[in-house]
Chain A
Amino acid sequence: MNRRILGMLGLLTSAALATSLAVVPGAQAAGGTIVVWADETRGPNLQKVMDAKSDWVPGYTIKIVTYSSFDALKAAFDKATGTTGPDVVVAANDWVPTAAKSGKLAPVTLTGSQKARFNTTQFFDLSYRGKLYGVPVDINNVAMIYNTDLVKTAPKKFGDMVDFYKANKTADGLKAGLCIAGGGMSWGAHSVFSALGADAYYMAGSRPNYHKFFNPITFASNVKTYLLGPDGKSNGFFPATDTGCKDNFLAGKVPYAVIGNWEWKDYVAKGFTMNLMPVPSTNAGQYGAMFGSVSGALLTSFAATHGVATGAKSLLTNFFGSTAGQVAYQKYEGRPPAEKGAQADASVSAGQKGFGAAASLAGIPQIGAFLNNNAGGASYWDSAPAYWTAVLVNGKDPLVEAKKLAAIWKKNMLAGKADL
């Protein structure tokens, strides 16, 4: 056998091997299959639901693709193309403006009865330029908890908490009075900003109020009164960072903490005695507004490329946005459902209902069009923690910085108006 024949045989073998192993790769399966991308917690739970009941959209097969983390999911979706992308992605609300702007999402139209299943403000999160791109799946919000071993009565005013901290700082070895354990110094801390008089934006009913903005003089005055000492430096009541907040709260070294509803189970598991409430404002009976955001099941523009756009739309309404679907899903996921019927279901825990009650006292919808906007030079997400650092760490003048903050938020809101 000469070399050439051997060579040909080798190549033929390789071709045969390749053909035998031939698989057309990519996440997208054959027509009639709706591919859903989700993160490492939502994916397995969705799979459990689909394993139990698969006919949410008659005639279609639903394939769940799970990513190892939320960041991995985001990175994959950023790179997704018509060939590789999903038909539905379970994502954070703040993906909507950029993904819709880049043509990765497709609009959905809900019937009147489907819309009525949700609070209208929840659609802000999932809308861009007047079009809705998905259905709300679960709610994320924060609330303030206080350690009832340390604090015997619920604070009525912000000042009550500061007074308690000052009075017991040394005796109880307190490391701070109020800290942010969940949601970070921007999202989680909005209720503190708001309690002191600085809201990222105001609502007029269910619509944003484009004529009302926070007053930096009032806010700075409150910061001086409650968060700074006579020397103009932080009085230690409110740390500028969330580092160590949860541990210190659990150790009884911080009496008040803002936590996210997804963390509630951890605190209950530690056996702590505590009560849930919104952050009290400087006036009795008023509270700092917390963001209430939703995670959404978003329809992608790739679904049309894959020939399953209609089935994917039906999956959103029949499963993700339905009472039966959200109850079945949240049985495993354990987050507060966004759909009204599911919220009323007996399976929703008392803790999650407590967060819901706190949100109903002082909640505003999280509007990505304003918060993500950086027309003012920085987004809300960047500028909010920067204020705490500038004033509480670097000792800058609270009024000067508050004026900058107010200008940024105002510009962002007005610029974001066009994206709603």
Chain B
Amino acid sequence: MNIVFKGKFALFTKLILLGLISAILVLLIESALAKKEYAIALFLAASLAALCYTYLSRRAVPMKFFLPGLLLLFAFVVAPIVYTVIMSNYNYKTGNIISKQEAITQIKGLGVEPDANGTTFDIVVGKSSTGEYEILASDAPNHVYFLSTATKKTDLLPSQVTLNADGVATSAPNFTKIPEAQLAGNEDYSKINYAYAGKYFISVQGIDVGAVFRQSLRYNPNNDTIENLVNGNIYKDNGRGNYANINDSSDVLQPGWRATNWFANYTKLFSDPLVRGPLVRVFIWTVAFAFLTVLSSFAFGLLLALTLNKPMRGRRFYRGVLVLPYAIPSVMSILIWGGMFDTEFGAINHILGTHIAWFQNASFARAAVILVNLWLAFPYFYLISSGALQAIPSELLEAAAIDGANPRQIFRKITLPLLMQILTPLLIASFAFNFNNFNLIFLLTGGGPKDLLGGQIAGATDILISYTYQIAFGSNTQDLGLASSISVIIFFIIAGISLYGLRKSKVLETFG
């Protein structure tokens, strides 16, 4: 066994593994650089350096154990949190996705308008005698032909050009056609505005089509403004990711870009009545849902654990049956429960002989959510309660009984306090989990019911995380910045509750 951990074999194995990991990291760095993800490339390069230093050096022995965990912690916990915090301070939503430079390029591209007739020409792309890009344009029905470069338009007579069967000119004097394969490899020719008439120019709209346009928007890099050449309006960076008309702030050019809007998303949470109203209601329900779930599941699990803690016939069988819901994937369970609550075909209405629209009524929907979560969660609490009960010294219970305590007093004064000391961290963790129990809400009720006709934007069973999802991805207009700010608030709420609970239960002191 020693040979595995020491000696040349171990060293050789380590180097091979390190080499493979390094190779993968180099590939990932290359990939990240190709996608211009420089921050990721930097992190991967730092990881590679740290791995090589740690595992090829004798100086960092403790680090050999910590490093993989630290790297993963940074990559999958710290970095997403930092990224979310950063994004929460951005105007990052539909219409404000790309960078400012990309937005300017797009606006310039969109800032052209066709002539009144929508004039188009068949074109052949080539070069002039001076080596400039040139197009040979044909208006076949009207027998109009001309050559055009970026600066000059030269009209041609039909007799000066060679026509194909469709009447399109294919060659002309001093014009050299560029082969198609060459055009496909370099589209620089299509970036040129070919001379036409006055302010109008021909823009390439396909390998053999040109259309007449004029510039309608012009970007001025000196003062970072965009001018509408048709009506004279000036658009200026409004500091929130758009060029806005200086005389009418509601008139903005699209697309916009991701721009910092320091704390504006947080302010909106509390100042915008459309967001604030639902948020408060959703927050209250989230706390109630998490609390009721933990309370009901714990109470039911503990009850079962207490019952099965005593010798009884068939105890093993009951224990096995009780953990079955825990063994079934929760996604399946939730979907099955969703079907059972169906108004028309659901088993629950069938058994009860009722016709309740469970997911159309706020109270019924909330009850269904709590009930389904009780089903999903009680086996966990049963298991941990059973384990904790067995950890309580039986001498304590016997001593109390001898001293005359009745079973209820023993439970209240001895069993429960001792259980709570053991289970409090788990209850807190469970509360935190349910605070973010997205799967249950999304799959069972979708956050509904929601009075959409009445203007509700959050459903009766929406919890903060499902509400956040809805804001971020749930409609045609996505607001990732606002959703990030809610995520940050959820993070601090959960962190605060967890820290408070852990301090109160003094669990951390055990490890001090």
Contact = CB atoms under 8 A, between A and B. Distances in A.
B512 interface: no
B187 interface: yes
A25 B254 CA distance: 31
A134 B355 CA distance: 48
B328 to A, nearest CB: 24
Given A14-B23, A404-B454, A103 B98 contact: yes
A117 B190 CA distance: 25
Contact of B187 (A98, A101, A308): A308
A404 B207 CA distance: 51
B335 interface: no
B453 A102 contact: no
Contact of B207 (A3, A17, A22, A58): A58
A379 interface: yes
Contacts of B357: 393-394
Main DSSP-derived SS at the B contact region: mixed
Contact of B453 (A25, A107, A301, A401): A401
A401 B455 CA distance: 12
Interface in A375-394: 377-379, 382-383, 386-387, 389-390, 393-394
Interface stretch (B13-21, B288-296, B396-404, B484-492): B13-21
Nearest to B453: A404
B31 interface: yes
A410 interface: no
Identify which of A9, A83, A111, A382 gathers the most chain B CB atoms within 10 Å of its CB. Answer: A111
Q: Which 7 A-B pairs have the closest CB atoms?
A: A103-B255, A59-B184, A14-B22, A18-B26, A59-B180, A10-B15, A386-B452
A284 interface: no
Interface in B96-140: 96-98, 102-103, 106, 109-110, 114, 118, 120
Given A103-B97, A313-B206, A378 B187 contact: no
B368 to A, nearest CB: 15
Interface in B443-478: 449-455, 457, 475-478
Given A102-B97, A244-B344, A11 B452 contact: no
B59 interface: no
A24 B452 contact: no
B30 A13 contact: no
Interface residues of B, number: 71
29 contacts: A3-B56, A4-B56, A17-B20, A31-B185, A31-B186, A32-B185, A59-B184, A59-B207, A101-B255, A104-B97, A106-B109, A111-B209, A243-B345, A301-B109, A307-B186, A308-B184, A309-B187, A311-B207, A313-B205, A314-B206, A314-B208, A377-B452, A378-B453, A379-B476, A382-B475, A387-B453, A389-B360, A393-B357, A408-B453
B102 A18 contact: no
A9 B185 contact: no
A83 B34 contact: yes
A304 B103 CA distance: 13
A81 interface: yes
Contacts of A304: 109
Contacts of A273: none
A13 B36 CA distance: 26
A108 B11 CA distance: 62
B184 A60 contact: yes
A94 interface: yes
A47 interface: no
A127 interface: no
A57 interface: yes
A129 B52 contact: no
B342 interface: yes
Contact of B98 (A15, A102, A318, A382): A102
A370 B184 CA distance: 39
Given A243-B342, A386-B453, A390-B453, A310 B98 contact: no
Contact of B35 (A25, A60, A102, A103): A25
A112 interface: yes
A7 interface: yes
Nearest to A386: B452
B501 interface: no
Interface of B: 11, 15-16, 18-24, 26-27, 30-31, 34-36, 52, 56, 94-98, 102-103, 106, 109-110, 114, 118, 120, 179-187, 190, 203-209, 211, 254-255, 342-345, 357, 360-361, 449-455, 457, 475-478
In which size bucket is the chain A interface? 35 or more
B120 A377 contact: no
Nearest to A81: B35
Interface string A58-98: 11100000000000000000000111100000000010011
A379 B187 contact: no
Contact of A3 (B11, B110, B449): B11
Contact of A9 (B15, B20, B179, B190): B15
Contacts of A111: 120, 209, 211
A141 interface: no
Given A32-B184, A32-B185, A82-B102, A372 B476 contact: yes
B205 A109 contact: yes
A31 B185 CA distance: 6
Contacts of A387: 453
A83 B18 CA distance: 31
B207 A314 contact: yes
A318 B185 CA distance: 19
Given A59-B183, A83-B34, A383-B452, A10 B22 contact: yes
Contacts of A386: 450-453
B254 A101 contact: yes
A154 to B, nearest CB: 29
B184 A129 contact: no
Given A10-B15, A59-B183, A310-B190, 15 more contacts: A11-B22, A32-B184, A59-B179, A81-B35, A104-B97, A104-B98, A109-B203, A243-B344, A301-B109, A307-B186, A314-B209, A372-B476, A374-B476, A389-B360, A404-B453
Nearest to B26: A18
Interface in A87-143: 94, 97-98, 100-104, 106-109, 111-112, 129, 131
A140 to B, nearest CB: 18
A310 to B, nearest CB: 4
Contact of B19 (A17, A82, A244): A17
B343 A382 contact: no
A103 B95 CA distance: 7
Nearest to A407: B453
A269 interface: no
B16 A10 contact: yes
Nearest to B35: A83
Contacts of B52: 7, 11
Contacts of A311: 184, 187, 207
B134 to A, nearest CB: 16
